[in-house]
Amino acid sequence: MDDTEIHKKVEQILFTREEIENRIFQLAKWVNTTYKNSENLLMLSVLKGSIPFLSQLIKDVKVDHAIDFMTVSSWHGKTKSSGQIKIVMDLDSDIKNKDVLIVEDIIDSGKTLQKIIDILKNRQPNSIKIITLINKKIAAKRFIEPDMYGFKINDFFIVGYGLDFEEKLRNLPYIGIFKTEK
């Protein structure tokens, strides 16, 4: 399948590979400016959805930094959030006195991130900020807002560029609206 061919489970492409990569380049510039005086930047990627975003982003991040990973589960293979959050795999590094930049694929209600931040704050980092590729506009209460985001979308269920439906479709080079079965 090439980039222009649309997957049968995708209703419509929202952002092409080129649009995503151009936007991530700008986000990297934001990271460079925001952390230009930071001695201890840690980019914390929330697995698994943020992997393609993180790997594209750090190509243009010029500030010295380390990366680390955390896995939480908040989504149980359905297209609706369960509201239950569990730490499946914790960070490897000590974040004390570090500038932590949480790298997320998408913020929906923000419940997942709120929980992650509560845990991280107890570990006395110097600062915590959030960058997310996608920021969903939802009608319901938002628990948290990102410091920076790539794209704002309406409340659709989307897949691709790391975002999955039942663990699949993360590999799509674009972001599209998932075709929900009738």
Binding site for ligand IMP (CB under 6 A): 49, 74-75, 81, 104-112, 157-158, 163-164
Q: Contacts with Mg ion in 49-88 (CB under 5 A)?
A: 49
Per annotation, catalytic residue among 99, 105, 108, 164: 108
Active site residue 64: no
Query: Got the DSSP string for 58-71?
Result: GGG--S-EEEEEEE
Site string for Mg ion, 94-123 (x = CB under 5 A): -----------x------------------
Using the minimum distance from each CB to ligand IMP, give the nearer residue, 24 or 72.
72
User: Taken in order 27, 30, 34, 40, is the CA torsion positive or negative?
Assistant: positive
* Residue 180 tokens, joined: 């929900």
Closest CA to 13 of 136, 182, 132, 178: 178
- Work out how close the CB of 129 gets to ligand IMP at its nearest, in angstroms, rounded to a whole number: 16
C-alpha neighbours within 13 Å on the C-beta side of residue 73: 8
Cα–Cα distance measured from residue 157 to residue 163, given in angstroms and rounded to the nearest whole number: 10
Look at residue 163 and give the partner it binds from Mg ion, ligand IMP, none, a contact being a CB closer than 5 to 8 Å depending on partner kind. ligand IMP
The catalytic residue positions are 108
* Site of interaction with Mg ion (CB under 5 A): 49, 105
